[in-house]
Amino acid sequence: MEKFVERQNDKLWWTKILDKLNNKHVRLSKGDLAMIKRIRQGTWADASVDPYDESMQFHFENKDWIHPFNAATTPKRSFVPSKWERLKVSKFVQALKKGWMKTLAQKKADEEEQEKEQDRVWDIWQDESVVSWRPRRMPKAITAPKRDLPSHAESFNPPEEYLFDE
């Protein structure tokens, strides 16, 4: 309740934070709030930094250097695909050829076809000779519910005690 009342009385309650190191409540200044806003936007924390300044750029003085920047030269194996990568790619190619795997365009086309099929409506009670189109997988036939057996009152052969006398 105390925090709620304090928030109602103080218009700038959202600029106050708890400094856990010193165990104090500290009010942030406008500069601190602007820096937090820049950090949240993904820009430089300091407003005076110009990322496109020419003095910050690194220029090569000598283009004909003998050695590359990194100490070791890149090995040939980094450019040649490994045996296992080649085998995996060949499996993918075989799956595409045989139709086990589909490309993104084929998957999208199949999804569109399925949506069109789902949108179609057919009369399940209509005679099959009249219907020109049927889906591949028809739903299972719905059987009629079974009725309960007749009781004594509904029976055609009532017991003798219920028969009329002369």
Residue 37 · residue 43 · CB < 8 Å: no
Assess if residue 126 is contained within a domain.
no
Alpha-carbon distance 157 to 154, whole Å? 9
What phi and psi values does residue 26 have, to the nearest 5 degrees? -120, 135
Assess if residue 125 is contained within a domain.
no
pTM of the shown model: 0.32
Per-residue pLDDT of the chain (166 residues; tens, 9 = 90+): 888 888 888 888 889 988 999 999 899 999 999 999 999 998 888 888 887 777 766 666 666 666 666 656 777 777 788 899 999 999 999 999 998 999 999 999 999 998 888 777 766 666 565 556 666 677 777 788 888 887 766 667 777 887 788 7
Number of domains in the chain: 2
- The range of the structural domain enclosing residue 21 comes to 2-48
Beta-carbon contacts of residue 81 (< 8 Å; ≥ 6 apart): 89
Assess if residue 59 is contained within a domain.
no
